[in-house]
Amino acid sequence: MGKAKYILLDCDNTLAQSEHLAFEACADLTNEVMEKHNIETRYTAESLLDDFVGHNFRGMLKGLQAKHSFTMTDDELEDFVERELGAVTKKLSEKAVECPGVTRELTTIKEQGYPMSVVSTSAKSRVVASIEKIGIAHFFPNEHVYSAATSLSPPSSKPDPAIYIHACKELGVKPEECVTVEDSKSGATAAMRANIPCIGYVGIYGIEEGKEKMEQMAKLLTEETKCAAIMYDWSEFQDCLKKIESKL
């Protein structure tokens, strides 16, 4: 049995219950974009989550342009991205809470000698705001917090695997030597495309949307993104890790 050389962790709705807060903060800006471009559709946090969970705001705006057939200038897009980042970061620094059991499990992982890194789609300042608010920033050296929106040039967004490939290169490990945890289809797809064994965390759906949605996501992450294990609660991480390491 092998041992993973690095534990890579998504942040939003994996470490921190932050996704819904973030989408609340960006709904008004999204609707401002819709109004500016004479699009009748209006979004709530819930409808944005349904369409764009796992995407950063830049990726969301590009998706909205494709979906509703309008075009933003580069300057306009960057202005909205900057405004959204400020609003979301403020809200997360005030209201983010951990996904149940995260601190306890990260403590165990550290005691076992596994190095850890955060690999997120979201802008780094937003990620740092979340992990600082929930009290887990000390588990991750600042230089090992990677963001598809901030760490890459040009910026990217999962399901593009670029941020995982970049993180592995920076950390000096091969993707297949790592294990990651993701809660969304886009994140798990990025891991799959990068050839990183992925644990699908679906407990957040049970907390926010109910058992039926949780089971739907477990099925999706198993069948469509080939997650190597499904985790309903962070207390199950060790069993999921052992399952993956038995095949390394």
Q: What is the DSSP string of 40-59?
A: -----HHHHHHHHTT--HHH
How many distinct structural domains can be found in the chain? 2
Confirm whether 1 is domain-assigned.
no
Is residue 107 located within the same domain as residue 89? Answer: no
Is residue 60 located within the same domain as residue 146? Answer: no
* Dihedral of alpha carbons 133, 81, 217, 210, sign: positive
Identify the pLDDT of residue 56.
Answer: 84
pLDDT surpassing 70 at residue 104: yes
- Token pair for residue 145? 């917090």
Neighbours of 216 (CB within 10 A): 14
Is residue 217 located within the same domain as residue 162? Answer: yes
Is residue 81 located within the same domain as residue 145? Answer: no
Is residue 156 located within the same domain as residue 114? Answer: yes
Identify the pLDDT of residue 19.
Answer: 86
Is the pTM higher than 0.85? Answer: yes
Residue 71 belongs to what domain range? 19-95
Is residue 87 located within the same domain as residue 102? Answer: no
